[in-house]
């Protein structure tokens, strides 16, 4: 009785479930001048990336349209859709697609 040898590998397999999920990662968080919102879309489609204040008011739309599948990045400079600098505080970043949503809190430190 013997066990067949297993080949050595330096490549770690990542389960498909982890790479096929909608993700939203803001960095840095907290931020002063600018933050990068990195998203991963498992499939192409209608995508909305929006920023809301603590009262739930929409203050900035970063994406509203059909985006390709894969990793994409968006910059946010702490300004609203009219270009005004927003006050220091917590903001909600919401990523919506037809099949899933992600929400993250981000802290903006106004100068």
How confident is the model over 2-59, as pLDDT tens digits? 555 554 444 444 443 445 799 999 999 999 999 999 999 999 999 999 999 999 999 9
Position 35 in a domain: yes
Position 68 in a domain: yes
Rounded-to-10 torsion of CA 41, 42, 48, 51 = -50
pTM for the complete prediction? 0.80
Q: What domain count does the chain have?
A: 1
Position 88 in a domain: yes
Position 75 in a domain: yes
What does the pLDDT read at residue 16?
39
The CATH number linked to 71 is: 2.60.40.4070
Position 10 in a domain: no
Position 3 in a domain: no
Position 8 in a domain: no
Q: Structural domain of residue 29, as residue ranges?
A: 16-108
Rounded-to-10 torsion of CA 65, 106, 108, 51 = 30
93 within 8 A of 78, measured Cβ to Cβ: no
Tokens (6 digits) for 33? 């001048």
pLDDT (tens digit per residue) in 82-99:
999 999 999 999 999 999
C-alpha to C-alpha distance for 77 and 92, rounded to whole angstroms:
14
């Amino acid at each position: 009785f013997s066990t067949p040898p297993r080949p050595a590998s330096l490549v770690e397999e990542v389960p498909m479930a982890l790479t096929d999920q909608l993700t939203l990662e803001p960095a840095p968080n907290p931020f002063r001048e600018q933050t990068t919102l990195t998203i991963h879309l498992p499939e192409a489609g209608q995508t909305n990336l929006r920023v809301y204040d603590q009262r739930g008011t929409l203050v900035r739309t970063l994406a509203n349209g059909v985006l390709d599948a894969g990793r994409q990045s968006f910059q946010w400079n702490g300004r609203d859709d009219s270009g005004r600098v927003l006050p220091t505080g917590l903001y909600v970043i919401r990523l919506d697609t037809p099949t899933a949503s992600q929400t993250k809190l981000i802290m903006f430190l106004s100068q």
